[in-house]
Structure 1
Amino acid sequence: MQAAANLDNRLTQDTLRLKVCGMRQAENIEAILALKPDYLGFIFYPKSSRFVGEELPAEILNQIPTSTQKVGVFVNEPVANILEKVRKYKLDAVQLHGEESPAMCQELKAASLIVLKAFSVDDAFDFNTLKPYEGTCHYYLFDTKGKEYGGNGVRFNWEILKNYSGETPFFMSGGIDLEHAAQIKALELPLLKGIDINSRFELSPALKDSNKVASFFRQIREPETTT
């Protein structure tokens, strides 16, 4: 797939990649696409308030340019079901937000998909638990540990990421809001490659505030000034 072919180029760019997750309304997606996100996330987990529904309309898919990667978000879904959605909707990447095994990550990676494996983080998180996943996925996604599989709107203590000594680059998620843009840019985390935003940028579940997203994107992408 073209997505996997372009992966190395994305990893070598200094600018943080920006992912907007939990999209499903055509007009809202059109407004977000105007901001040129690197990734759009579509949630295929029926228990989520941002579930895309039983069918993702063609009017949504047809407006997404190749420069924006389509990410399917799954929770403990069988590989066969994931691959069926990948083929049906021409997904570029999969985000695994449950208790998926390293073998499952590897199988999906072997299918030429970009694979993001999410982990729920709190102050007691043991980064040693990630060792079996090294080499099986392209990115980790560190999200806040909560009652739900993502979308809890709560931020974890980013200082804990200084304890991460693995080799897999990662995205950061969980309660990220507009006010955090400057703090994110100041983080000294070489393997931090992307930011995943969701509930804190919503007017209602799955409906993003495009003006707020635009402001966040502008601040993150603004070059650092030197004096």
Structure 2
Amino acid sequence: MPHFAAGGGAIGGHRVSAPEVQVKICGLQPDDELSFTEHPRVSHVGFVFVEASKRFVHPSRARRATVRLAADTEAVGVFANATVDEIASTVAVAGLDIAQLHGDESPEVCRDLQQRGFRVWKAIQVPSEGAQLDDVRREVHRYATCTDAILLDAKPPTGAGVTGGHGQSFDWTVLGRIAQDITGHPWFVAGGIRPDNVGTLLSLCRPTGIDVSSGVERGGRKDPALIQSLLTNVHRPLTPTSQTITRGEGGRVFPIIHSCTGGEQR
């Protein structure tokens, strides 16, 4: 079993020192091996409360895992178009710290949850090839004032039954422009992140954190060895030797973006 080392400074109560990238491992099951939450860079874990998802967990079963988390690892509940009351009930039963909204929830829903004392993350879909970037930036502006963090995730394939967890990435070169609209606000990147490409992402851009699910799975379950590999590569991201870098998928060459940095944790 991999050894997950501890140590480091603190961001928002966690041991990671700014501007180091935080890591959220999402889609956990109640009986998953959780020693990876002791790693100083693992700031959050996620549980999916969308019944259509293959990673769906009942709130009472999720509680079996949240009580076993490292003290400074926060539990995030993933929801899609649930009512405010349903979210509030699930947060209480499962012992969650944050509600992540992955559907068509309005800014008013986000504000309602915040007014009830909940921390809220909102997922915004980014097209795979960077088209409709203006639409994405408008969505970022809509939600930046009513959330505690923005999650930029790949737009799901046509006909997909759920809004996330498909293991597909988007064109990360657009992050430099989107980041300008989130200055000072925490933001995460999700979609298709794996141990073998996370270094590429972090060479292109430095968000507050990354959100990983299928990229650290074998046979549909979280794999400690893959998680360890991911964390090792986050700690030592790929260092480019020129102004371009080749991404593993499709052999596309992306330019380096130097000005893209994450916001501060609130």
Name the CA distance, whole Å, in 2 between partners of 1:58 and 1:224.
37
Equivalenced residue count is 216
Task: Give 1:169 shift.
Answer: 2.8
Give the counterpart letter for 1:215 in structure 2.
S
Counterpart for residue 131 of structure 1: 141
Cα RMSD (Å) = 2.4
- The structure 2 residue matched to 1:53, chosen from 40, 55, 58, is 58
State the 1:57 CA deviation: 5.3
Alignment correspondent of 2:214: 199
SS of 1:42 mapped into structure 2: strand
The 2-side partners of 1:177 and 1:56 are apart by 27
Structure 2: gaps of 5 or more residues: 1-10, 240-266
Q: What is the alpha-carbon distance in structure 1 between the residues aligned to residue 35 and residue 14 of structure 2?
A: 26
CA deviation after TM superposition for structure 1 residue 188, in Å: 3.7
Distance 1:128 1:80, change over 3 A: same
2:233 paired with 1:219: yes
Alignment counterpart, residue 204 of structure 2, candidates 187, 191, 201: 187
Of the three residues 194, 206, 224, the one matched with 1:210 is 224
Partner of 1:33: 37
User: Higher Cα Rg: structure 1 or 2?
Assistant: 2
Could you state the TM-score of these two structures normalised by the residue count of structure 1? 0.85
* Letter paired with 1:201: V
Q: Percent identity over the alignment?
A: 29
Change (3 A) 1:9 1:30: closer
Q: Which has the higher helix share?
A: 1
- The one-letter code sitting in structure 2 at the alignment partner of 1:132 is R
Trace 1:163-174 onto structure 2 (pairs within 5 A).
163-164=177-178, 165-167=180-182, 168-174=185-191
Q: Which runs of 5+ in 1 are unaligned?
A: 1-5
With over 3 angstroms needed to count, the CA separation of the structure-2 counterparts of 1:12 and 1:169, relative to structure 1, is farther
Offset at residue 196 of structure 1 (A): 0.3
* Aligned-pair CA distance for 1:34: 4.3
Q: Distance in 2 between matches of 1:110 and 1:29?
A: 35
Deviations 1:173-209 (A, max 9, x none): 00111111221221245xx10000011211133x111
Select between 155-164 and 126-135 the one with higher mean Cα deviation.
126-135
Q: Which has the higher contact order (CA 8 A, sep 6+)?
A: 1
1:142 aligns with 2:156: no
Whether the 8 Å CA contact 1:177–1:201 is kept in 2: the answer is: yes
Question: Greater shift after overlay, 83-92 or 162-171?
Answer: 162-171
Partner of 2:8: none
Q: Determine the C-alpha separation between the residues in 2 that align with 1:34 and 1:66.
A: 9
